[in-house]
Amino acid sequence: MPRRALSLLALAALWACDDGTRGMDGTGPHGGGRHDVGSGPADALPQGGGRRRADRRRAAARRGRRAGRRRLGALEPMAPLPGLATVAGARLATSGTCALCHQNAPGAQAMRDEVGAGVAPFDLWMGSMMANSARDPLWRAVVSAEVAATPAAREAIEAKCTRCHAAAGNYESEAPSMALIDATDTAGHLARDGVTCTVCHGIEPDGLGTDDSFTGHWVIGDERVAYGPHAQPQARPMEMHTGITPRQGDHITDAALCGSCHTLLTDALTADGEATGHQLVEQATYLEWRNSRYPAANLTCQACHLPTMSAQGVPLQTAIARNPGGQDFPFVQPRAPYGRHVLVGGNTLVPRVLDTFRAVLNPQATPAAFATTVAAARAQLARAARLELMAARRDGDVIELPITVHNQAGHKLPSGIPTRRAWLRVTVRDAADAVVFDSGAHDAEGRLVADGAVLPSERADGPIQPHHQVIERADQVQIYASVMCDPDGVPTGRLLRAATYCQDDRLLPAGWRADHADGPRTAPVGTDDDPDFVAGQDTVTYRVAAPVGAGPYTVRARLLYQTLGARFAADLFAVDTPEIRQLRFFLQTVPALPEIIAEAELSVE
């Protein structure tokens, strides 16, 4: 029996045994229902009549979600996605066209670093989220939730969302929609290739960096060209084999190119699809970078995400292509700079899901390519921040522990879609190695817990964990995240209901200024009372009961990152669509556990 058939049979056995009761949505024996601890922390709740109204709203929302959960279908994958063929549209082509010469081959020295390791663009790109943006089951689930919430706007939602996630297919299609991802025509193959080579390398410089270019409004010209950073490229081989002409374009290394998709403006809609008049900067990664110290230092998006250094930190200089027969072109000389197309952020969850469930999601990337991407993402996270444990102060039997988080990323941390969050986990152990304090602990599904109970703030209808300057209890956790609110000020997980942010205390990049042109669109929310929350860093003080006689105490601090935060997941999983059921099924095997960004230890008497 073919290997693919065996894989599908194994998946069938897995979902046949599942009873649909497990998941991050808080239902069933593995969910938050068994840890219902009542109302949240006192400092996370409004007071007086406002508190009573909020309680009533939350109770009504809980009843609605419980009713919705009873209607949720069984957790199972959808039909397998089609494979990927090498095709060309009127302007754009799939990555196989480029792999002909830009993939490593055993008989060629082109596209290798100083130790001979392969650094070919196709090989590094194919395991990235750019390559798999259309297959991304989290993105597909979120889009399905938006369509379910506002069905009248389906056509506009799907056209907008595929503009960047299924870019080439969207561009080549007369009626772009999510159906492209399952289609087997030319546009379908282009769509499944995600942010393919010919998209980024085919974008014209027109209007880049302006609002007109944001939300995927990049421009592809009338000619079949591929822009690169090098002067006088050897044009004939590419033209002969692909019909595409290589051309120098300085804008290919400009951050504004990335900003066309990494700045997303969303107009809020009612359930009937009517505009409310509110616009949310849903994703502002490019604007955050622009309002930082990095542009002045000439450190663009590409400097970190397409580094021109090898993994060993040596500047890359290599031939940028080999011939279709797998040998070196005799006339192609080594060039610099040469960008490693690793294209990673902090997402290790979705690449692992894609690899684990390849029988359903059908990526072209090999297991080795996904492993390379995950390792690169973890290395990227390790560079994103550092922790500084300041000198502890003792006040009788209480120790005060100031901890400063330094953001070393070129944008907010975390940045992008509000599914993401980071938080501080601080654990204190006494001389007998007993835990005396633990803020930021999580369970096996990535939900925050205190004393074994899931925090109420992890529920979609729970209280929002406030920004903290001082933490004294295990149920207080410093979370760096954005929480959206609808026009009435009620928290929401639906992107098209969001009018503003109820809270946004993601770490600011170094050099951020409120008076910058992008200041209003990148400003934090809910941090005004914390003078230690400033550009590039935040300091949180932990007050821990620690009697002198039980020391010395060991303090371990960790900054954790999660691609899919539990609160956002709970809100998403209350919606019943095939894409969401599929995502929940996947997460039973590959849970949304956090990654460590930074950690530090300190001994205190």
Cβ atoms within 10 A of the Cβ of 97, count?
23
Residue 300, token pair as written in the block: 């663009």
351: closest CA among 336, 368, 338? 368
Cβ atoms within 10 A of the Cβ of 8, count?
15
Mean predicted confidence (pLDDT) in 150-154: 98
Q: Where does residue 314 fall: left (phi above 0), alpha (psi -120 to 50 degrees), or beta otherwise?
A: beta
pLDDT band, very low/low/confident/very high, at 71 (cuts 50, 70, 90) = low
pLDDT band, very low/low/confident/very high, at 296 (cuts 50, 70, 90) = very high
Residue 65 has pLDDT above 90, yes or no: no
Amino acid 256: pLDDT: 98
Boundary residue ending a domain (348, 381, 414) = 381
User: How much is the mean pLDDT over the chain?
Assistant: 90
Amino acid 84: pLDDT: 96
373 and 468 part of one domain = no
Is there a contact between 402 and 539 (Cβ–Cβ < 8 Å)?
A: yes
598: closest CA among 285, 346, 284? 346
290 and 329 part of one domain = yes
Give the span between the Cα atoms of 487 and 485, in whole angstroms: 7
**DSSP SS3 for 260:** coil
Q: Where does residue 263 fall: left (phi above 0), alpha (psi -120 to 50 degrees), or beta otherwise?
A: beta
- The beta-strand segments (E) located in 457-499 are 470-471, 479-485, 491-492
pLDDT band, very low/low/confident/very high, at 326 (cuts 50, 70, 90) = very high
Q: Give residue-wise pLDDT tens across range 181-223.
A: 999 999 999 999 999 999 999 999 999 999 999 999 999 999 9
| Structural domain includes residue 85 | no
Residue 529 has pLDDT above 70, yes or no: yes
310: closest CA among 516, 525, 116, 163? 116
377 and 389 part of one domain = no
Amino acid 482: pLDDT: 98
Is there a contact between 268 and 498 (Cβ–Cβ < 8 Å)?
A: yes
Amino acid 551: pLDDT: 84
Give the span between the Cα atoms of 31 and 172, in whole angstroms: 43
Q: What is the pTM of this model?
A: 0.88
| Structural domain includes residue 84 | no
Strands 491-492 and 537-545: unpaired
371 and 453 part of one domain = no
Q: What secondary structure letter does DSSP report for 82? A: P
317 and 429 part of one domain = no
Residue 516 has pLDDT above 50, yes or no: yes
| Structural domain includes residue 490 | yes
**DSSP SS3 for 263:** coil
pLDDT band, very low/low/confident/very high, at 8 (cuts 50, 70, 90) = very low
Boundary residue ending a domain (335, 359, 381) = 381
Residue 579 has pLDDT above 60, yes or no: yes
Q: What angle do helix axes 349-356 and 367-384 make, rounded to 10 degrees?
A: 170
| Structural domain includes residue 78 | no
| Structural domain includes residue 504 | yes
| Structural domain includes residue 16 | no
Residue 28 has pLDDT above 60, yes or no: no
- The beta-strand segments (E) located in 88-145 are none
Contacts of 67 (CB under 8 A, 6+ apart): none
Residue 66 has pLDDT above 60, yes or no: no
**DSSP SS3 for 89:** coil
249 and 158 part of one domain = yes
Mean predicted confidence (pLDDT) in 300-323: 96
Q: Of 63 and 131, which is predicted with more confidence?
A: 131
pLDDT band, very low/low/confident/very high, at 72 (cuts 50, 70, 90) = low
**DSSP SS3 for 62:** helix
pLDDT band, very low/low/confident/very high, at 48 (cuts 50, 70, 90) = very low
> What's CA 398's distance to the chain center, in Å?
38
Residue 63 has pLDDT above 60, yes or no: no
Mean predicted confidence (pLDDT) in 457-482: 97
| Structural domain includes residue 377 | yes
Residue 237, token pair as written in the block: 């081989």
Phi, psi of 161 (to 5 degrees): -70, -30
304 and 159 part of one domain = yes
Mean predicted confidence (pLDDT) in 461-485: 97
Specify the number of domains making up the chain.
2
| Structural domain includes residue 81 | no
Give the span between the Cα atoms of 290 and 254, in whole angstroms: 12
Residue for token digits 């990152």? 561
341 and 411 part of one domain = no
Amino acid 148: pLDDT: 98
Mean predicted confidence (pLDDT) in 452-468: 96
pLDDT band, very low/low/confident/very high, at 88 (cuts 50, 70, 90) = very high
Range of the domain at 599: 384-604
Give the span between the Cα atoms of 106 and 123, in whole angstroms: 13
389 and 351 part of one domain = no
Residue 229 has pLDDT above 60, yes or no: yes
251: closest CA among 218, 214, 290, 287? 218
469 and 597 part of one domain = yes
Amino acid 605: pLDDT: 87
**Cα dihedral across residues 328, 331, 334, 338: positive or negative:** negative
389 and 369 part of one domain = no
pLDDT band, very low/low/confident/very high, at 9 (cuts 50, 70, 90) = very low
Boundary residue ending a domain (327, 349, 381) = 381
Amino acid 174: pLDDT: 92
Mean predicted confidence (pLDDT) in 583-587: 97
Residue 165 has pLDDT above 90, yes or no: yes
130 and 187 part of one domain = yes
Q: Give residue-wise pLDDT tens across range 341-371.
A: 999 999 999 999 999 999 999 999 999 999 9
The length of the chain is: 605
Residue 408 has pLDDT above 80, yes or no: yes
Residue 373, token pair as written in the block: 């991407």
